[in-house]
Structure 1
């Protein structure tokens, strides 16, 4: 690292080594006194905020600081837990997080690095998908209020029919040069202000009013369809965004294949013409509970569809009403209440 990048810690041949300034923090393995008014990260060297949280949690449950440090010193394992879909780990059981899995040191390191590599692979495959999904969501959520506004305006189409009826009924002919005319309503004799095209006569303005009425009337049906489609697109891409958030590598690939199949994305062509790939049924996840009951669930739309297609009449199918999420199938005719919940 040359001096222009880091003036404090230059790393190159012949450079003078300057020790890092002392932070005047205590050694947690030799010091037993803990000041409860100061955070552990400020008192002891080597304490991350995450470890400090765990130690503080244990101490609040009655465990001594000394016994925790002894546990860290003697540990030959790695404990891995999941927090916000990210692995968290340390060499002691993470009681403040929840359920942890204990692994021998090197096996645990292998698992952590595999997860990191898997995350990078998912990031590579899902980067363009995430960008596309975000763009679609932004487009549709911007489009929807405009469609609703146009639909509300189209619902007010009856006034244009009334304008045309009044112009014909009163036999208004000479309207050229006028931008507006006031005529009395057939219903309550109240004055109605009718906008006019100054280039047209009375019959021309009446025809134009009826044309606008017919256009808005037909537009209502079209706009209703567009609003429904827009809402469906928002639901669909919101579901994909949620699925991609928790996707493993295979699931991310299947989400991309789904978008290609539906025509949202194009298959990437590199060099030679690709051979047609053999159709492979998406593989949903299947687990067995402690009660011996088999449960299957999908992680994306393709897996959900495949799972639903293979469900037997004797199985029980679950899905959250009016919300995107996994389809879950319990392969048992009479599961207990614990399994259902």
Structure 2
């Protein structure tokens, strides 16, 4: 189920008592569509994540540590001015709509009390976070300022009066009385028709509710269904098409398979969205460099095609030499001013060969022209092969950057930006950001079945540091064969076959081949690894390696990861 009205009602049953009367101490906007509000209550800090992302609008308490931008966006500066230090008086949902109002009280510069409302609207692409004054309903600022031409229903700009968006009329099942139900039952004798009249349900909820009424068309069935939303738990189900769905109750009328459950809805919700949110945050933060990587890869792929065409012409240049020889042999037949001549090719049983001529050149010069072109093409083979090697290395490098982005956490993107800047692909920008020193905490860490530790670099700088500085010379190094991926270190000088297989699976997962089967992985002791002078970050050479083929399984691998 999505963040529909009933879901929000359920979430607030635990969220409201946790946050109400708490002091808002810090506000961050780590990403374009996401806010973090830190509340202090009963000597505990609680971080509320609010996301107006069009695909996954949501809010819940998070334990995630998110790196904040060096310069705060305008909206968060406004929120800090008006809300930092304020007390959250109450949280209220508008009916069973996807709108939640957070009521704050604070004092302005003159010491006068202000009543402020932070309205969170979770409505797909129209999702927004709006701060307005409760006294006159004037908007102070909002996360997404909307041009009047884009939304004619209401004005969403600072100083405009806040108005609710157009809402669909419907029945609130949480407040429906038995008498009202019986009247509706007469009007709608078919359960499916009545179910369509209720607000706050998404498609899955409506199907489940319809199933309850079809089993027993009574107020008792309605009450049983809606009472579940006052006592929520967290359940993750999978559809027949292997898509995950989150529910706060156990559905009986939908064809779903239970994957996990948790009595704490908020914890279950954070686990459900964690990977999805991480990928979205990485996408937002890496948008600029992904465009650069994509453009560079396209240019290099086109260059490789062009170089291969040139190489093909150079390697098939014998025709120019033959034409030159034939012209010299039958020079007496070539007359000045001829545009072409047909001569017997003694290399192919005297088969006729048509040869084009330059009318401005003498017969002998025409022959020499073909010999010169032949020699030039033959001499170019070495140069073309060298250019192909360099171009393929550069393409592999950008593949490694893309793989690093795919495997990155949001806080890892800065290191990739630094790398591309140092390599000259990004312009040097003036920044007050302090470069993070690479430590073991920067890496991904895994515990194998027998307790041995595996360390994984998440970008080229971490790969170099891990392999060339951190790892012991007797440790074992793993990397997918001839495919961009992370450097993986197994901290052992005498690994078992099981250790090698598990470490190889981790290396395969953190590579471009993570979704492939039978992935070849090289492994060798670190002392055999060398980095050539002038090589790009992450590039090493080695000899004497062994290989193993593995098929990475995401669930199995991530269970070994130490958070």
**TM-score after normalising by structure 1:** 0.70
Alignment of 1:300 with 2:459, yes or no, is yes
- Name the counterpart of 2:169: 22
Q: Is residue 379 of structure 2 the alignment partner of residue 232 of structure 1? A: no
Q: Structure 1 residue aligned with 2:415, among 241, 248, 254?
A: 254
Contact 1:28 1:44 in 2 (8 A): no
State the shift of 1:66 in Å: 8.9
**What residue is the counterpart of 2:491 in the other structure?**
331
Q: Tell me how far apart the structure 1 counterparts of residues 317 and 340 of structure 2 sit (CA, whole Å).
A: 18
For 1:285-328, what per-residue CA distance to the aligned partner results, in whole angstroms no more than 9, with x for missing partners? 22335642211111122222322223335433332223222222
- Is the 1:295–1:328 contact (alpha carbons within 8 Å) kept by the matching residues of 2? yes
Deviation at 1:135, TM superposition (A): 0.9
Q: 1:183 to 1:330 in 2, by over 3 A?
A: same
Pick aligned residue for 2:200 from 46, 50, 75: 46
| Rounded Cα–Cα distance in structure 2 between residues aligned with 1:198 and 1:281 | 72
Relative to its length, the structure with more helix (as a share) is 1
Cα separation, partners in 2 of 1:158 and 1:4, compared to 1, 3 Å: closer
- 2:345 corresponds to which residue? 185
Q: Does 1:157 align with 2:317?
A: yes
Gaps of 5+ in 1: 32-36, 82-86
Residue 126 (str. 1) matches residue 286 (str. 2): yes
Cα gap change, 1:245 to 1:229, in 2 (>3 Å):
same
Matched, 1:242 2:403: yes
Cα distance, 1:247–1:50 mapped onto 2, change above 3 Å: farther
CA change 1:295–1:96 in 2 (3 A) is: farther
Matches of residues 170-319 of structure 1 in structure 2 within 5 Å? 170-172=330-332, 175-187=335-347, 188-269=349-430, 283-289=442-448, 291-309=450-468, 310-319=470-479
Matched residue, 2:231: 74
1:308–1:69 CA distance, 2 compared to 1 (3 A): farther
Distance 2:481 2:224 in 1: 49
Change in 2 beyond 3 A, CA 1:226/1:182? same
Quote the offset at 1:204 in angstroms: 0.6
After superposition, the C-alpha distances for 1:33-59 in whole angstroms (9 at most, x for unaligned) are xxxx98xx9686433458789x79xx9
The structure richer in strand per residue is: 2
How far is the alpha carbon of 1:257 from its aligned partner?
2.0
The answer to whether the aligner puts 1:146 opposite 2:306 as a matched pair is yes
Q: What is the RMSD of the two structures over their aligned residues, measured on CA atoms? A: 5.1
Report if aligned partners of 2:444, 2:456 keep a CA contact under 8 Å in 1: yes
| 1:322 aligned onto 2:482 | yes
- Mean Cα deviation higher: 321-330 or 93-102: 93-102
Counterparts in 2 of 1:132 and 1:19: CA distance versus 1, 3 Å: closer
- Per chain length, whose mean CA-contact separation is higher, i.e. which structure has more relative contact order (CA < 8 Å, sep 6+)? 1
Helix, strand or coil: the match of 1:319?
strand
Offset at residue 216 of structure 1 (A): 1.0
Relative distance call for 1:14 and 1:267 in structure 2 (3 A) is closer
Partners in 1 of 2:257 and 2:304 — Cα distance?
44
Would you say the 8 A contact 2:285–2:413 is kept in 1? yes
Whether contact under 8 Å (1:28, 1:69) holds in the other structure is: no
Structure 1 residues 177 and 294, CA gap change in structure 2 (3 angstroms): same
Matched-pair contact (CA < 8 Å) for 2:479–2:487 = yes
Change in Cα spacing, 1:122 to 1:295, as seen in structure 2 (3 Å) is: same
CA distance in 1, matches of 2:388, 2:374: 21
Matched residues, number: 322
Q: Give ranges in structure 2 of 5+ residues lacking alignment.
A: 1-138, 140-146, 182-190, 213-220, 238-243, 506-563
Distance in 2, Cα, partners of 1:228 & 1:14 = 62
Deviations 1:104-154 (A, max 9, x none): 74x788999999997787556523211111111221222322222222222
Deviates more, 1:310-319 or 1:217-226: 310-319
Question: Would you say the 8 A contact 1:172–1:203 is kept in 2?
Answer: no
Query: Aligned equivalents of 1:143 and 1:9: distance in 2?
Result: 52
Cα 1:100/1:231, change in 2 over 3 Å: farther
